[in-house]
Amino acid sequence: YERQAYLNVGGRLSGKEKEQALTQKEREFRDLILRAYKAEPVEGSSFFHGKHAGRLVVVGPINLPVGRLFVEEVIMECRKVGASRADILAFEFEMGLFPAALEEARQKGIDLAPKYIPAEVFDKRAVEKGQVVFHDISFVEATPRYDKRNKLSMQIELTDFSVYYTQGAAEAAIAAMKDGKNGVICDRGQLYKVTKSKDGVVEKERLTKHWTDWVDYWAVDFDYMSRKEIVKVHKALGVMEPPVTYGTGASADTVAPSDFEERWTGGYIFENEWQSFRTRQSRELELKTASHAYERPGRYTVAVKVIDIFGNDTMTLVPVTVG
């Protein structure tokens, strides 16, 4: 919603003027993201947008998830300019893209670091204060456990959750901390509580001792492919339009319902059928779902969504066969 609001182009503009205004908005949006990432803009590059800490930086599509073709293009462009390290910043990445794509890049001598663009980029004060943290991607591993007595029943077990978070400025964060204060930092993929005494002595306590410590909440949809995501699309424009008011009077600004049609986005709607989460009273997580029975034999796709302690969600798809 923040992205749509930021890129919204209003006013009475022609098709060409609207396209030009949108291009300018997108350019400003990328500049905002680069500032939040503390990256220096790259002049004269047709593909990469910036550089940071000796790495090239590219901002992915604003309204689409980064997919395999985009990653392959990043690798190709790196090889063209002789670069071996690059960061990919995006709001979304296609499911199942990693870690395979990262391994393929390594085999070609390219170190890729995909990172999520956080919602805080829309907070100008957070950007100005350098408080925006770009989180690294995570990987979910889930395993189906079949019921030997009932061939239509099974459970899903959460077996691993790998995170690669790095604050990148741990020492700077500690140095900026006032004496007698404490805080939480992310360093080398682990979470630490840092306490600085009134004398300036720093103590670090590791908070993440097991992969489950990163998980705040997880949920399961046992038949993910059964609910397609359908949107109403304007027939002429081919893009989603906000609801409009229409009446009996003729007006250039009114749009009749017949001008829209329903289309499948190519995605599916996640339905939360089972969940386990931490509460203040209980910090324990269930790592195996309750038994789920399907109505008929066949192949199904189970979606497993994990929300980590920073509020970032990662989803994986698990194919299962019952009956």
Q: Tell me which of 226 and 7 has the higher pLDDT.
A: 226
Is residue 92's pLDDT more than 50? yes
The 8-class DSSP code of residue 214 comes to G
Give me 209's structure tokens. Answer: 């001792």
Q: Are 288 and 275 in contact (CB under 8 A)?
A: no
Give me 54's structure tokens. Answer: 């000796």
For residue 231, what pLDDT is reported? Answer: 80
Q: 280-321: per-residue pLDDT in tens?
A: 888 889 999 999 999 999 999 999 999 988 787 888 889 999
Q: What is the mean pLDDT of residues 94-105?
A: 81
For residue 239, what pLDDT is reported? Answer: 46
Query: Of 2-6, 157-161, 226-230, which one has max mean pLDDT?
Result: 157-161
Q: Is the dihedral of CA 86, 165, 219, 296 positive or negative?
A: positive
For residue 241, what pLDDT is reported? Answer: 43
For residue 257, what pLDDT is reported? Answer: 64
Q: 23-76: per-residue pLDDT in tens?
A: 788 888 888 899 999 999 988 777 999 999 899 999 998 878 898 899 999 999
- Percent of the chain beyond pLDDT 70? 82
- Percent of the chain beyond pLDDT 90? 37
Q: In the structure, how many helices (H) and strands (E) does the chain have?
A: 6, 18
pTM greater than 0.75 (yes/no): no
Q: Tell me which of 207 and 168 has the higher pLDDT.
A: 207
Q: 148-193: per-residue pLDDT in tens?
A: 999 999 999 999 987 766 555 455 566 667 788 877 777 666 778 8
For residue 97, what pLDDT is reported? Answer: 80
Is residue 142's pLDDT more than 60? yes
For residue 179, what pLDDT is reported? Answer: 82
Compute, in degrees rounded to 10, the torsion defined by CA atoms 288, 293, 298, 304: -30
Give me 274's structure tokens. Answer: 């089972």
Is residue 245's pLDDT more than 70? no
Tokens 């949107």 belong to: 231
For residue 69, what pLDDT is reported? Answer: 92
* Burial label, 93 (beta-carbon count in 10 A; 0-12, 13-18, 19+): buried
For residue 172, what pLDDT is reported? Answer: 56
> Which residues, in sequence order, are bridge partners of residue 274?
220
C-alpha pair distances (Å), 77 with each of 30, 41, 56, 65, 148: 19, 17, 10, 19, 51
Q: Are 220 and 303 in contact (CB under 8 A)?
A: yes
Is residue 244's pLDDT more than 50? no
